[in-house]
Structure 1
């Protein structure tokens, strides 16, 4: 069964969204220090306190201007790093793990992603060295009981060939000095727009089956492509996907039916919308043959 998690990137009222999701049994809330212009993590803390069984996933990478300034003042970042407002440097990784634990009021974080580590792409060898170096303090934090696992959340890293699942696994092993690592999850966009991961998964290829084969969680982000996908699905296409469904649920059903996906991330401040989404995501999925047929009709939407 595919799970429905709360994604908070585009949430305009993160407290309402989280309260609705947690009360409905949402298993995971996904956030980041920079979300909500730097306010979401602290705002989520009271909701997480009321619902201690809800897992929390946060990230390290992107930062607000204020967060960059504070890290610079604290000697965690160089001026060049602070100017880019993105870093996975080891010192910043250690700093942000501590900050997230404090803001979320969770002494142990369930999952910490490197957030778009390919943001400063450059050469692959240099990128892989930076990822390995970032994995090292995450392994240390896991050993110290500050987090349970870590991963990589990327928009285009797998698509652009910046790294593969086997390469990430190797880098984690090198950082840990042990085949047993804390690398536990990846997050990537999966939708009728970002459809290549679905096509690849149906063929047993790409990052989703590779990550699942490694025993990791795989979370699909942006299943509605920032909320604009339903408006781009006409009624005949929605009905073709699932008779009698509407465009939003049709889009969710396609993403949620991806073989190997642990769950998808969605945000809403409407209780009925969350219930409908949960019923769609956790209900009966499209068969692989049917999903392949639907993918065959679609071309990536620019």
Structure 2
């Protein structure tokens, strides 16, 4: 990757790590579904204005929008909501570490749901190592609330993995990545509006203080709409496998922000679990095995998800 790609990768990790920080700021003041609705609704508005200016076509067709509705549910409504609920019980740093299990779930789901991404021995070893890290972190959960909050994060990561498999159907449709992002965010907004009205009753809520409003705007504009654009640009420039490296960096950013601004701390077992998850992700990266086979030889860049 070029120096510009590395800067984009680091910035993306800060933006996605920052999403856990922004949620941590907002959680004490607003109910979960309201936070998620603001995130996806504002982000959808930003992209709706940005796409025509960028010359990107909007999604069209009933079948496309039906598929986008499922995508918005799996990739936005479910995981965003579960992480917000979980962060009422656990730190933003711990939530981000559990979010890093998404590629582990992705390998398992792809093995079960597809014919061309079967589980190899290196992948199986990576998955087992990563989930061993999860077991280390959750094995000594102090109370039921903490345990179930961590379980919610794992379910959110699983939902992301399911969305990744579902997204395969958009490739033959020729839908631009930013158009896909707008479509799923718009659909997620439509799903959440009646849910927020029934459950949260936002008209009864007090206006949050200015720092919380700023955090919500940062969550929607920076960590969602802008981050989507940066991510897809990074894939186009550096390849999907190199963009996959952001998974290693997001917990670092989230943990650092949580410690610096939210007074959070990680227990030793959580650090050990994070190390095992990182090792599992490293094992999943096909470049490691190519280095073993070539005994340290220089490797060509990998650009397809099948190489993970």
TM-score range, shorter chain: under 0.3
Higher strand share: 1
Higher helix share: 2
| TM-score of the pair, normalised by structure 1 | 0.24
| TM-score of the pair, normalised by structure 2 | 0.24
Bigger RCO of structures 1 and 2 (CA < 8 A, at least 6 apart):
2
